[in-house]
Structure 1
Amino acid sequence: MENSSYNSQIRQLRILAEAALTQYDIGSARLTLLSHHADTLFRVTAYPRSTWLAGEPPEKNAETRFVLRLCDSAVQGREREVVKSELQWLTALHRDANILVPEPVLTRNRELQTSVQIEDVEQERLCLLLRWVPGRTMALKLSPISLERMGIFMAQLHNHAHHFMPFGDFVRPHWDWTSVLGTGTVLDPDFASDQCDGLIGGRAYRLFSEIAERAHEQLINLPKTSDYYGLIHANLLPANYIFYQGEVGAIDFRHCSWNYYLYDIAVTLGAFIGHPEEATLRKAFFRGYESIHLLPNHAEQLLSLFMALRIIDHLNVLFRSKDAATHALIPDYLTFALGGLQQFLASSDSATRS
């Protein structure tokens, strides 16, 4: 499928999506493409069969919305257990935490995921269905009240992670700072030579090396107990928060992993670096978060380090991508990244001297 035209890919994926929906008991449905990258997402608008059997057009309030995900064709073997584990956690969150997150829908065979294949596509695709999370994003219109609510939501997520006990063959990635600044990253000369298009120069390499040294010094003794470390969302950018009738929820749990809670906070607050109201928004977020979940000692200092690591982590993702549009973002993000990392080191040195 990789070599076919975009329109041809979408046609084939739509056929796969229609085949996948036959394995769910949701009635008649209409598909709308949401996004097509490694995974492909369709919005599914379903109507009860009784409405159609009556021979009348469906009423809008009778519709039910879902998101159908067709996973990357590379998701095979053990990777399927990784996806299944994401769905197991979402099921537990929906059942136990009473927070707004996507709810997995079981197939007719009571499975969390299913596989489909069509005649013209050699490789089968793993598919899953999630209930649509109502509400809207407010990424460009966030206020201190919004950030406070986001902090409350994240703290509720981390409280659940603190007590979450996975069962069966539960497989999600385990984060370690060496995955950000080790082999196969921007600090690896072979990776920089092969993947980074000559963009990683001496200044960048020195900054990455210094961050790696600070990470080793500060994180080597940071416990991986449930007070500090657990299953997190790992991609809680403002666009992944959903606001609905006074509640805040989240979508897109594809990157969930075992990690420090501070990494989740770094992802959210890192989006406001350089914002005119950064200090006010940051304070509001912590007000909400700490009303639910206590932060560890020296959290502020550690958070700055996690924000620096997140910046480099995202650089690695950009350089690894095979998507041309993603690669086009690299020069501007690299300029931002180097400035942010330099600022982190300067403020860290200043705090040490004082």
Structure 2
Amino acid sequence: MDTSSYNSQIRQLRILAEAALTQYDIGSARLTMLSHGKHAVFRVTTYSRPGQQAVESATRAEDGRFALHLCQKDGFDRALWNSELQWLAALKRDTDLLVPEPVATRDGALMQEVQIEDIDQECICLLLRWLPGRSVDWGLSPTLFERVGIFLARLHQYAKQFIPPEGFVRPRWDWQQVFGDETVLDPDFAATRCDGLIGGREYRIFSEVAERARDEFAVIPTSPEYYGLIHGNFRQDCYLFYKGEVGAIGFHKCGWNYYLADLSITLEGVAGRNDEEALEQALLRGYERVRALPDHYEEWLRIFKATRLLEHINSLFRSNDLALRASAPSQLTLALEWLGVFVHSSFAGRSFPGKA
């Protein structure tokens, strides 16, 4: 990358971020860039200038920290983002779950447009209270994972009663997204995107998974007890531990889906570990401390695990990232090993495969 171009982009993002912050009642603040690009994120740390009295306002975070998101206006889906913010605001208003709280501007808006003279790009910005905590991966124990299950159950319990406001728009999961066009079951897609790795054997296994999934999804109820707004990406980098509590960030993939799909995503995050079985039992034990699992959850959860594997393989072959595509052969081998057993066996348990 051209260093001068990169430095120019960073300077422009910082100028836009500083301009955005003038619309919030948070006082003086320092900016630390956490990511850049089409969706840039800054950590915002408020402070008092020498001789200046600390700002006292309803928007000031307890520890003076926020997360400022700057999104390029081109391609920005305002309805989708606004709905995510409405969901977070509802969770903060109606529960004591630890989630980021949207912060409104002085005018009461949850999003604002920012444009500066002599800077070409125009951004949409939004501000969230900083959620403290740390993510845990290899140090994740059954005790900690049980708390994750409790959090997820409480989230689903609230989702069951959530009434979306007018104009609320979040993605709705559909069977065709995994098994229809532009997937490994699409002959044209397999021929043009899958590097010759999808042959007759692979196609037969994927087709049998699709047939079983179609039959099962036809009988799994879509009533609020089973289906609602889920987190959609509740893995290690999206749940945090803070003072014995679990918090959640990264709600960008929240959407309408089965609650068991959320559990399968969380379990996917610990796939392939030596303690995978103990962790799965802990997660489900924690979940059932809050809300009961369906009578057929063991069979249905395996369906969702199989579906997640297909989603993962589809995403690998859709990607233009060279590193991801290079991992496709080994990832495909792991997936086929598990899926082959899945379609030729009963629902008696078998571990979910890890990702290379």
TM bin, normalised by shorter chain, reads 0.7 to 0.9
* Letter paired with 2:107: N
Equivalent residue, structure 2, for 1:234:
232
Shift of 1:312: 1.8
TM-score (norm: length of structure 2):
0.87
| Range 10-19 or range 178-187, more displaced | 10-19
* Letter paired with 2:21: L
Q: Work out the CA distance in 2 between the residues paired with 1:119 and 1:205.
A: 55
Q: Work out the CA distance in 1 between the residues paired with 2:287 and 2:226.
A: 14
Equivalent residue, structure 2, for 1:174:
172
Q: Work out the CA distance in 2 between the residues paired with 1:6 and 1:320.
A: 27
Equivalent residue, structure 2, for 1:164:
162
Q: Work out the CA distance in 2 between the residues paired with 1:63 and 1:143.
A: 29
Q: Structure 1 residues 142 and 21 mapped into 2: Cα distance closer, same or farther (>3 Å)?
A: same
TM-score (norm: length of structure 1):
0.88
| Contact 1:162/1:227, CA 8 A, preserved across alignment | yes
Q: Structure 1 residues 159 and 62 mapped into 2: Cα distance closer, same or farther (>3 Å)?
A: closer
Shift of 1:318: 3.4
| Contact 2:72/2:122, CA 8 A, preserved across alignment | no
* Letter paired with 1:189: P
1:208 correspondence with 2:206: yes
| Range 303-312 or range 66-75, more displaced | 66-75
| Contact 1:158/1:261, CA 8 A, preserved across alignment | yes
Q: Structure 1 residues 37 and 187 mapped into 2: Cα distance closer, same or farther (>3 Å)?
A: farther
1:54 correspondence with 2:36: no
Q: Work out the CA distance in 1 between the residues paired with 2:237 and 2:172.
A: 24
In structure 2, list runs of 5 or more residues that go unmatched.
56-60, 350-356
Shift of 1:261: 0.1
Equivalent residue, structure 2, for 1:75:
75
1:17 correspondence with 2:17: yes
| Contact 2:32/2:42, CA 8 A, preserved across alignment | yes
Q: Structure 1 residues 109 and 307 mapped into 2: Cα distance closer, same or farther (>3 Å)?
A: same
Q: How does 1:184-203 map to 2 (within 5 A)?
A: 184-203=182-201
4+ residue runs of structure 1 moved beyond 6 angstroms? Answer: 55-58
Q: Work out the CA distance in 2 between the residues paired with 1:107 and 1:323.
A: 37
Shift of 1:206: 2.4
- The Cα offsets for residues 218-261 of structure 1, whole Å up to 9 and x where unpaired, read as 10122211010000001001221110111111110000000000
| Contact 2:134/2:240, CA 8 A, preserved across alignment | yes
SS in 1 for 2:252: coil
Shift of 1:42: 1.7
Shift of 1:118: 3.6
Equivalent residue, structure 1, for 2:289:
291
Shift of 1:125: 2.2
Q: Work out the CA distance in 1 between the residues paired with 2:119 and 2:200.
A: 46
SS in 2 for 1:238: coil
Equivalent residue, structure 1, for 2:352:
none
Shift of 1:45: 1.4
Shift of 1:348: 3.7
Q: Work out the CA distance in 2 between the residues paired with 1:207 and 1:289.
A: 32
- The Cα offsets for residues 277-303 of structure 1, whole Å up to 9 and x where unpaired, read as 111111111111001011112101110
* Letter paired with 1:261: Y
SS in 2 for 1:234: coil
Q: Structure 1 residues 23 and 300 mapped into 2: Cα distance closer, same or farther (>3 Å)?
A: same
Q: Work out the CA distance in 2 between the residues paired with 1:156 and 1:22.
A: 36
Q: Work out the CA distance in 1 between the residues paired with 2:244 and 2:100.
A: 17
Equivalent residue, structure 2, for 1:243:
241
Q: Work out the CA distance in 1 between the residues paired with 2:86 and 2:299.
A: 34
1:146 correspondence with 2:162: no
In structure 1, list runs of 5 or more residues that go unmatched.
none
Equivalent residue, structure 2, for 1:261:
259
| Range 309-318 or range 272-281, more displaced | 309-318
| Contact 1:177/1:309, CA 8 A, preserved across alignment | no
Q: Structure 1 residues 32 and 201 mapped into 2: Cα distance closer, same or farther (>3 Å)?
A: farther
What is the number of residues matched between the two proteins?
A: 341
Q: Work out the CA distance in 1 between the residues paired with 2:318 and 2:72.
A: 16
